[in-house]
Amino acid sequence: MSKKAEPIRSVKGTRDLLPPDTVLWNHVEEVARTVFGTFGFGEIRPPVFEPTELFARAVGGETDIVSKEMYTFEDRDDSQISLRPEATASVCRAYIEHGMHSLPQPVKLYYMGPMFRRERPQKGRYRQFYQIGAEVLEALQPGQGGPKDIPKDAAIDAEVIEMVMTFFERLGLQGVQLDINSIGDKNCRRKYVETLRAELQRVKDKLGPDSQRRLETNPLRVLDSKLENEQPIIETLPRIGDHLCADCKAHYAALRQQLDLRRVKYRENWRLVRGLDYYMRTTFEITAQGLGAQNAVCGGGRYDGLVELLGGQPTKGIGFAIGEDRLILSLQEQMRDSASLPLATRLPAGQAGHSPLVYIAWMGEKAQATAIRAAQTLRAAGFSVEWPPVEQKFGKALGQADKLGAKFALILGDNEVSSGDWTLKTLADSSQQKLTEPQLLDFLRKL
Ligand code: HAM
């Protein structure tokens, strides 16, 4: 006797998204497309793998993402390829590759799809996860740039943030908290980082091994520490807000004013530094409830200069990415907690468990031909239909209809086929009515 084959399991940190959850995923993506569309964004679908060099240059070789978490492999022609850990780098590459600087500026793009990071899996953290993101790119025209652009740049930042908040609001996401910060530009940040490093050197002995390492590689990341015993030390460290140059300070003030004008509520958080190297000035993060430690559902910021770093011309950029897995988790948590959800988070009627609207119970050869036609007509009209593939006694078929949660059973036997009057049974109250095919369609459409 042959040995039973071992089942193969999915790779650690990856998972299958299954119905009925996928209904909510599709709903969330549909709302994103609608809301982003009203803000003038078009969809881009970049590849899921790219030259490793793209992420090394854009995200930064010293960052955790690039140094520890990327899935990198050598292709058969010896080139180094990586599964994308994020998509901002890809969007900038595509902007350059397709000469989008010659389109009317700014170019506004959104994307959704899987990203890959080899992190330690836990609730809300996966090795394959999904992002919904958006980027605004604007090539500098001759004479553009400098302090006079600050009001415009800040207004674009605020509108991008307003768009995410509108999206969350449309979904009925609760407990949303927006944190904002400015991390300055490459000049004032460099000076601040030196001041910070000097101060950290003084308290080095009181820091844990991770922060001691970051002190050398990227002192700003020490501010991200969640270690209890490091918190009092971090609170005494110099704050970037006190070290911004005049332009960065003006940009940050204009951003707050623009957010106020849009009635977007925020909290200033001087410790918000983000884990990717390309940011400058505006950074932001949004948290939501029900997520535990991994509670950031969205992160973003401004990245002027990134396109240039990737070989394009001087270009400004601002964008964000939402962790779709976390957004869905938070919405599901909310649904468990509350019976009275805002309308938009309720699932489209009849789809929640993929229950059919109509179950066709048929008996007899002629009835099978009629059932096939009825199923085709009803599905073409947009109604979900289920039916047994082989003949089944009516009693058994109706039991199956009940089990699947169908609303109606369409009963087709010899009598129905010869008279053209079909029997429709409402399963909730067992009431029956006789309808011709056009009457049936009419009845279902009016529901
Ligand atoms: P990020 O902060 O690395 O930024 O990721 C954005 C969001 O993706 C996070 O807030 C989180 O919700 C989700 N996320 C990240 N890693 C995981 C994971 N392992 N499992 C589940 N969810 C995760 C970026 O990726 C930037 N590209 C955002 C951006 C766009 N900045 C400007 N434009």
Distance 288 CA to ligand 1 centre (A): 14
Distance 52 CA to ligand 1 centre (A): 18
- Write down the pTM of the prediction: 0.90
Confidence of residue 344 (pLDDT cuts 50, 70, 90): very low
125 Cβ below 6 A of ligand 1: yes
Confidence of residue 209 (pLDDT cuts 50, 70, 90): very high
Distance 404 CA to ligand 1 centre (A): 38
Test site for ligand 1: of 64, 131, 294, 303, most ligand atoms within 8 A of the Cβ: 131
| CA-CA-CA-CA dihedral for 340, 344, 346, 349, to nearest 10 | 130
Compute the 3-state secondary structure of the chain and give helix, strand, coil in percent, each to the nearest 5.
Answer: 45, 20, 35
91 contacts 134 by C-beta, under 8 angstroms: no
281 contacts 252 by C-beta, under 8 angstroms: yes
Question: Tens digits of per-residue pLDDT, 282-330?
Answer: 999 999 998 988 899 999 999 999 999 999 999 999 999 999 999 999 9
H/E stretch holding 151 reads helix 150-171
Distance 310 CA to ligand 1 centre (A): 20
300 Cβ below 6 A of ligand 1: yes
Q: Cα separation of 324 and 370, whole Å? A: 44
Question: Mean pLDDT throughout 184-210?
Answer: 94
Mean pLDDT of the chain: 93
Distance 334 CA to ligand 1 centre (A): 22
Q: What percent of the chain has a predicted confidence (pLDDT) above 70?
A: 96
Q: Answer yes or no: is pLDDT of 348 > 90.
A: no
Question: Tens digits of per-residue pLDDT, 224-258?
Answer: 898 999 999 999 999 999 999 999 999 999 999 99
Residue 218 has phi, psi (to 5 degrees) of -155, 85
Q: Cα separation of 304 and 102, whole Å? A: 18
Supply the pLDDT for residue 409: 97
Q: Answer yes or no: is pLDDT of 146 > 60.
A: yes
Q: What is the DSSP string of 35-101?
A: HHHHTT-EE----SEEEHHHHHHHH-TTSHIIIII--EEE-TTS-EEEE-S-SHHHHHHHHHHTTGG
In the chain, the N- to C-terminal Cα span, in Å, equals: 57
Test site for ligand 1: of 129, 132, 306, most ligand atoms within 8 A of the Cβ: 129
Biggest CA pair distance of the chain: 93
Ligand 1 atom 14, closest CA: 323
321 Cβ below 6 A of ligand 1: yes
For ligand 1, what atom is nearest to the CA of residue 127? 19
Ligand 1 atom 7, closest CA: 323
207 by Cβ neighbours in 10 Å (0-12 / 13-18 / 19+) ranks as buried
Side chain identity at residue 258, one-letter code: Q
Test site for ligand 1: of 50, 107, 115, most ligand atoms within 8 A of the Cβ: 115
399 contact partners, CB below 8 Å, separation of at least 6: none
214 by Cβ neighbours in 10 Å (0-12 / 13-18 / 19+) ranks as buried
408 contacts 357 by C-beta, under 8 angstroms: yes
The angle, 0 to 180 degrees and rounded to 10, between the axes of the packed helices 52-59 and 88-97 is 110
Q: Cα separation of 125 and 118, whole Å? A: 10
**Which tokens is 383 given?**
């109604």
Supply the pLDDT for residue 444: 96
Question: Mean pLDDT throughout 31-36?
Answer: 96
For ligand 1, what atom is nearest to the CA of residue 327? 12
Q: What is the DSSP string of 379-442?
A: HHTT--EE--SS---HHHHHHHHHHHT-SEEEEE-HHHHHH--EEEEETTTTEEEEE-HHHHHH
Supply the pLDDT for residue 164: 98
Q: What percent of the chain has a predicted confidence (pLDDT) above 90?
A: 87
255 contact partners, CB below 8 Å, separation of at least 6: 154, 157, 158, 180, 182, 282
Ligand 1 atom 15, closest CA: 323
Confidence of residue 350 (pLDDT cuts 50, 70, 90): very low
Distance 298 CA to ligand 1 centre (A): 6
326 Cβ below 6 A of ligand 1: yes
Q: Cα separation of 240 and 183, whole Å? A: 7
Distance 377 CA to ligand 1 centre (A): 44
Supply the pLDDT for residue 353: 53
Supply the pLDDT for residue 284: 98
What's 141's DSSP letter?
P
b/e code 279-295 from CB counts within 10 Å (16+ = b) = bbbbbbbbbbebbeebb
| Spatial CA neighbour of 323 closest among 104, 152, 131 | 131
Supply the pLDDT for residue 59: 95
131 Cβ below 6 A of ligand 1: yes
For ligand 1, what atom is nearest to the CA of residue 319? 33
| Spatial CA neighbour of 274 closest among 252, 300, 249 | 300
Distance 141 CA to ligand 1 centre (A): 31
Reported as half-sphere exposure (CB side, CA atoms, 13 A), residue 192 has a value of 23
Confidence of residue 275 (pLDDT cuts 50, 70, 90): confident
Test site for ligand 1: of 15, 283, 326, most ligand atoms within 8 A of the Cβ: 326
325 Cβ below 6 A of ligand 1: yes
Q: Answer yes or no: is pLDDT of 130 > 70.
A: yes
Bridge-based pairing state of the strands 267-268 and 177-182: parallel
Supply the pLDDT for residue 118: 98
* 220 conformational bin, left if phi > 0, alpha if psi -120 to 50, beta if neither: alpha
